[in-house]
Amino acid sequence: MSSGHAGGLPGVDTSRTLELRLPGRLAPDDVGRLCALLDAAEPTVVVCDLGGLDQAGLAAVDALARLRLAARRRGHRLVFTGAGAELRGVLDLVGLGDLL
């Protein structure tokens, strides 16, 4: 965890930020592990760096959607950063462009 900036999100600790970096290729175990990490953390701002993803396919789309659901269930504010043009295009194509 690293320091974040103070904010006014009710019930969300913005004094700390949980940072996640997705690996080059996502395996189902990776997504489950990341969701479990979100479930275990107190509500906070979660910054998820997508710059390391090798492929912008449906596995990445599934992973991002599952992470967003896990974050919402736990009350986190999830922010994705570092998405490339290809991933943005795929998310737009499947109707999930609002993830970014």
Nearest to 64 by CA among 3, 55, 8, 43: 55
Residue whose entry in the numeric block shows the structure tokens 């701002």: 45
Q: How far is CA 79 from the centre of its chain?
A: 6
Q: How far apart are CA 97 and CA 100, in angstroms?
A: 6
- pLDDT, one tens digit per residue, over 64-91 is 999 999 999 999 999 999 999 999 999 9
Give the pLDDT mean for 87-96: 92
Its pTM stands at 0.80
Q: Which long-range contacts (CB under 8 A, 24 or more apart) does 72-75 make?
A: 73/39, 74/38, 74/39, 74/41, 74/43, 75/11, 75/12, 75/43
Residue 4 has what pLDDT?
Answer: 41
Domain boundaries, the chain: 2-94
Q: Identify the CATH number of the domain defined by range 2-94.
A: 3.30.750.24
